[in-house]
Structure 1
């Protein structure tokens, strides 16, 4: 982490954004925590690609922890926080280092990481989601659908000479597979069950489509809350979004 060493104030800002786990504006930071992320601190975190900032319509800056920022936070909580070159204050730095060091004990004890600890309520799936039985899913696995026609030759051909599957077609396949597996409306379905139903659709195409779909209002993709209950197959089937492994999908909320 030497090349990304932060001052106490920059580390404090990064940890606040980690704890909020959402995009937050400078006015709201000022209201909640009596500080704003501006000037050199904002520029440093932006330059290191740890924080993404944008200017809103009213001129206020909005900030969110980037994927690199989450990775950096996980490394901090894994290895501990180094002393800053220019601490903003002994009490502030002592507080930060104490929180990082002692919260790590809880994460080690419960086999969790910072994404699990600070995930917002709406981003978490229930501990015991309702999913279809694996045997039923396997017996009803349909034959892979043929790829949709390629309009105007816009899709690149794959290395085998087969036209690349369009993103919209993969989304349709995912939605059909979910509908087949879900036992009732708004039920959680595991990616362990979903992936086999998608047939030979390339995994990288499925993952990129899931990352796009998570921003849709009727789609939720979440981690399994009880990590110790996950099998190796569950870990292997997970999709990484925002630096976090997600194991369950819900469509139609």
Structure 2
């Protein structure tokens, strides 16, 4: 069993935060995922270092830690099904357990969890680097933080974000400062290499 005896709500909150891979407001957990993370659960997860909660804002904002992600990975394999769960839930949990073990052995678990959420991953990395809204950030700084995501997949996600007005891509007009990493990280749009990105806040 994973270390820590947490409630179903606490376990669900950690899973939701891991999948989101970004700051999540407490109201979003409640409204979008029907997860009510009460004070006792919140304090227990923060005390254990699995969760960081910003309590200087209303509503509170949560972010899972690296230890929290490790806990989730362990819970997926060794955790018991939710209390009072029926036979279908127990069999689903067993199927998930076997799939997780298989993906762990192949080293592809992290990518499988993030599949379909590459845009969220890019946004999370961008806002970790940006110090002000819509700041221009070099793609050469962002790509190394995407845990080896395929360049073509990242390019497609970036172009989709640009077309939807969620992100802006631009070339660096000072060609003399461009490094080899800048050239390798660039996205080609209409035959022009773009080296910088700025992203709209949600």
TM range (shorter): 0.5 to 0.7
Residue 57 of structure 2 is aligned to residue 113 of structure 1 = no
Which runs of 5 or more structure 1 residues have no equivalent in the other structure? Answer: 125-210, 227-247
Change (3 A) 1:20 1:76: same
TM-score by length of 2: 0.54
Residue 78 of structure 2 is aligned to residue 74 of structure 1 = no
Residue 196 of structure 2 is aligned to residue 252 of structure 1 = yes
Residue 146 of structure 2 is aligned to residue 222 of structure 1 = yes
Q: What SS does the corresponding residue of 1:90 show, helix, strand or coil?
A: coil
1:31 aligned residue: 31
The alpha carbon displacement at 1:45 in A equals 0.8
The alpha carbon displacement at 1:18 in A equals 1.3
Compare 88-97 and 100-109 and name the one that shifted more. 88-97
Q: What SS does the corresponding residue of 1:64 show, helix, strand or coil?
A: strand
* Higher percent of residues as helix: 2
Measured against aligned partners, the alpha-carbon deviations of 1:83-135 in whole angstroms (never above 9, x if no partner) come to 37xx55324973883464144156247531236522731336xxxxxxxxxxx
Q: What SS does the corresponding residue of 1:76 show, helix, strand or coil?
A: helix
Partners of 2:4 and 2:50 lie apart in 1 by 9
Check whether the contact 1:81–1:97 (CA below 8 A) recurs between aligned residues. no
TM-score by length of 1: 0.45
Partners of 1:66 and 1:75 lie apart in 2 by 14
Partners of 1:61 and 1:224 lie apart in 2 by 32
Q: Map of 1:85-164 to 2, 5 A cutoff?
A: 88-91=83-86, 94=90, 97-98=93-94, 100-104=96-100, 107-108=103-104, 111-114=107-110, 117-118=113-114, 120-122=117-119, 123=121
Which runs of 5 or more structure 2 residues have no equivalent in the other structure? Answer: 151-183, 187-194, 198-202
Larger radius of gyration: 1
Partners of 2:38 and 2:185 lie apart in 1 by 37
Partners of 1:47 and 1:96 lie apart in 2 by 31
Check whether the contact 1:76–1:100 (CA below 8 A) recurs between aligned residues. no
Partners of 2:90 and 2:118 lie apart in 1 by 29
Partners of 1:75 and 1:249 lie apart in 2 by 34
Change (3 A) 1:112 1:2: closer
The alpha carbon displacement at 1:214 in A equals 5.2
Change (3 A) 1:82 1:69: same
